[in-house]
Structure 1
Amino acid sequence: MPEPRPSRRTTVAALAAATALALVTGCGAADMTRQSSPYAAARGAKTVTLSVQSWVGAQADTAVAGYLLEHELGYRVDTVQVDEVPAWDALSQGRVDAILEDWGHPEQQKRYVEEKKTIVDGGELGVTGHIGWFVPTYFAEEHPDVTDWKNLGRYTDRLRTAESRGKGQLLDGSPSYVTNDKALVKNLKLDLEVVFAGSEAAQITQIKQFAKEKKPFLTYWYQPQWLFERVPMTEVRLPEYTEGCDADPEKVACAYPHTPLRKYLNARFADEGGRAAAFLKKFHWTVEAQNEVALMIAEDKLTPRQAAQKWVERHEDLWRPWVG
């Protein structure tokens, strides 16, 4: 998730995520930190390699795109899991062909798209992402002033946990996500401790447990995300975002922006990838569509392939224009 974002999401959760990713396509997924796909950038071959991020929304993108590439266009699809910033290096080098959900990385965009020209913009995904701080709606209704960051100090005692070292807890996801939260806590002079759950799955588990017990909590979270349908949450107003207010990571003292999520393709693949490249450029869906697939994966426990198949069977009117 984002460049200020998740930049997108302990062990059991990591294993579950890896298992889900392996089922995105019949060809499995590889860990990009250990190896690259043998099918990426293969000249003349009907193969496509997609980078898939760890959060379930990105898994939904890749599952549906991969399913259609295989079943409608006849391609072999391989997937690799890699963190957000390294994914740009892999894409530039042709080790993957496409990233379907980028939350905004201006340094990488400048380097690879504008200067090296090894990556091309594949257009908007159709989903706008936003990161923020959230409290459960049941707590916001009981204490409406908690939705203003200036009042968080009044609730330090209610937000304290065993991991927060005597301060109020601000729950984050994976340490690999790009987040401004430590700088925000410091620069806004808040008596909070950023505590990393370890992954999106672990963070969801913790949020659900808090909600089950009706406990107050403060968490870094992002939209779109299916969990809002299960645990209603209300955003805490941070100082207003203005262009450039997050330029210096050490001095950030403003809210996260709203970011139209984008796709990026390896430049050679964009030129030589034929119908696959054309399809990925056209792939453009809604928050509702993404959440429908994500919910089937995360809550209904379908494999990404099963969820993609169900969505494709229900929504031919939406995907047919993508395949031409």
Structure 2
Amino acid sequence: MVGLALTALLGGVPLVAQAADTPQCELDRPMRFGGMNWESNLVLVEVERFIIKHGYGCESEVLPTETLPALAALERGDLDINTELWLNSTLEPWNKAQASGKVKRIGDLYMGGEAWFIPRYTAERLPGLKKAADLPKFKDEFKDPEEPGKGRFYGCPAGWACEVVNGNLFKALGMSDTFTLFSPGTGATQKAALASAYQRKENIVFYYWFPTSIVGSMDLVQLELPPYDKEKQLCLTDVNCADPQPTAYPDNPVFTAVNTEFSEKAPKLIGFLSGVKVPLDAMNATLSYMDENELDAEPAAQWFLKSKQDIWTQWLPADVAQRVQAAL
């Protein structure tokens, strides 16, 4: 009679069945994510947090950080996961961290990219501007408001790993006499400045990476750089590069890294995180939707989860996917 009464109270769902539907997290503490300050990372972190909460029964927290400090924190165990690590920007420190055995690469998200861009309307106005090496001849078309005698090149946000590569490439192309290398204080500052100039149809030249809302929503043209050379690129990543030489950016593998000790304690979570892969067009579409609707990362993640179920359900066992779908 007691069993029947409990079944009735639960709306006809047996107590054992309900318990089976409630996942038990492998960790006895919140999972710690590194919170990088660019959009794709912020959105993917919220996607993964929603899945681990509703699919695996795990709580989590996000610790704001930057790429290199996050890698050090991952080695120490202060972070469990760095969802999005760009290999080419962190090649040397990543190789050292991996050699320590304290971190692991567990999954490839997508093949990211980096380039120097101009808007298509600028390319149509300046048909002679095809290569990055042509820029000095067109300095007056990109006037720096603070140094009108020079053009302005929008580089990488201050403090980011890509700032070193852009600075060295700027030197390698001999642009110091004709352009200022403007390093915005934050990614948000950079994005706002570019979006504002684009809306006003101003000529702009800038570094950017993808997938991003900027590349997804603007009609852009990449400036040509000399063919990729591995040795030249390696020097460009070195803050002490003695003789920087220009070379194209290579394809940039973007992967997930975790603390090794965490990976040993949470094999089910690692199984999920290892399978996270996102097509570039889907990520660009998500970031464009986020930008157009002025969303924060969490509602953008919800949009991805609701509209891209054909993608993320492939990352999960069927029962876990069903729990996540039920929570949406």
Give the 3-state SS of the residue equivalent to 1:194 in structure 2.
strand
- 1:289 paired residue among 272, 279, 282: 282
Unpaired runs of at least 5, structure 1: 1-41
- 2:267 paired residue among 264, 274, 286: 274
Match of 1:10 in 2: none
- Write out aligned runs for 1:1-324 (5 A): 44-45=27-28, 47-104=30-87, 105-114=90-99, 116-125=100-109, 127-164=110-147, 166-178=149-161, 179=163, 180-190=165-175, 191-248=178-235, 249=238, 250=241, 251-252=243-244, 253-324=246-317
Report the Cα distance in structure 1 between the residues aligned to 2:278 and 2:212, rounded to whole angstroms: 15
Give the Å deviation of 1:165: 6.2
Report the Cα distance in structure 2 between the residues aligned to 1:284 and 1:164, rounded to whole angstroms: 44
Give the 3-state SS of the residue equivalent to 1:290 in structure 2.
helix
Give the Å deviation of 1:235: 0.8
Query: Partner amino acid for 1:159?
Result: F
Query: Partner amino acid for 1:230?
Result: S
Report the Cα distance in structure 2 between the residues aligned to 1:276 and 1:75, rounded to whole angstroms: 9
What's the % identity of the aligned pairs? 21
> Which 4+ stretches in 1 moved above 4 angstroms?
none
Give the 3-state SS of the residue equivalent to 1:155 in structure 2.
helix
Report the Cα distance in structure 1 between the residues aligned to 2:92 and 2:133, rounded to whole angstroms: 32
What count of residue pairs does the alignment treat as equivalent? 281
Worse-superposed segment, 99-108 or 284-293? 284-293
Match of 1:23 in 2: none
Give the Å deviation of 1:255: 2.0
State whether residues 185 and 192 of structure 1, in contact with CA within 8 Å, keep that contact through their aligned partners in structure 2: no
Report the Cα distance in structure 1 between the residues aligned to 2:275 and 2:29, rounded to whole angstroms: 18
When the two structures are superposed, what TM-score results if normalisation uses the length of structure 2?
0.80
Match of 1:27 in 2: none
Give the Å deviation of 1:98: 0.8
Give the 3-state SS of the residue equivalent to 1:244 in structure 2.
helix
State whether residues 134 and 221 of structure 1, in contact with CA within 8 Å, keep that contact through their aligned partners in structure 2: yes
Give the Å deviation of 1:289: 2.4
Query: Partner amino acid for 2:115?
Result: G
Give the Å deviation of 1:268: 0.6
Give the Å deviation of 1:303: 3.0
State whether residues 114 and 252 of structure 2, in contact with CA within 8 Å, keep that contact through their aligned partners in structure 1: no
Query: Partner amino acid for 2:254?
Result: L
State whether residues 35 and 62 of structure 2, in contact with CA within 8 Å, keep that contact through their aligned partners in structure 1: yes
Unpaired runs of at least 5, structure 2: 1-24, 318-328
Give the 3-state SS of the residue equivalent to 1:157 in structure 2.
helix
Give the 3-state SS of the residue equivalent to 2:233 in structure 1.
coil
State whether residues 168 and 193 of structure 1, in contact with CA within 8 Å, keep that contact through their aligned partners in structure 2: yes
Report the Cα distance in structure 1 between the residues aligned to 2:172 and 2:27, rounded to whole angstroms: 53
State whether residues 124 and 261 of structure 1, in contact with CA within 8 Å, keep that contact through their aligned partners in structure 2: yes
State whether residues 163 and 195 of structure 1, in contact with CA within 8 Å, keep that contact through their aligned partners in structure 2: no
User: For the pair shown, which has the larger CA radius of gyration, 1 or 2?
Assistant: 2
Give the 3-state SS of the residue equivalent to 2:139 in structure 1.
helix
Give the Å deviation of 1:301: 2.2
When the two structures are superposed, what TM-score results if normalisation uses the length of structure 1?
0.81
Report the Cα distance in structure 2 between the residues aligned to 1:159 and 1:271, rounded to whole angstroms: 53
State whether residues 157 and 168 of structure 1, in contact with CA within 8 Å, keep that contact through their aligned partners in structure 2: yes
Give the 3-state SS of the residue equivalent to 2:129 in structure 1.
helix
Give the 3-state SS of the residue equivalent to 1:302 in structure 2.
coil
Give the 3-state SS of the residue equivalent to 1:255 in structure 2.
coil
Give the 3-state SS of the residue equivalent to 2:230 in structure 1.
coil
What value does the CA root-mean-square deviation take over the aligned residues?
Answer: 1.9
Q: Higher helix share goes to which structure?
A: 2
State whether residues 154 and 184 of structure 2, in contact with CA within 8 Å, keep that contact through their aligned partners in structure 1: yes
Report the Cα distance in structure 2 between the residues aligned to 1:77 and 1:319, rounded to whole angstroms: 19
Report the Cα distance in structure 1 between the residues aligned to 2:50 and 2:284, rounded to whole angstroms: 17
Instruction: Encode CA deviations 1:247-301: one digit per residue, 9 max, x unaligned.
Output: 2232332222111211111001111113222211111111122223323433312
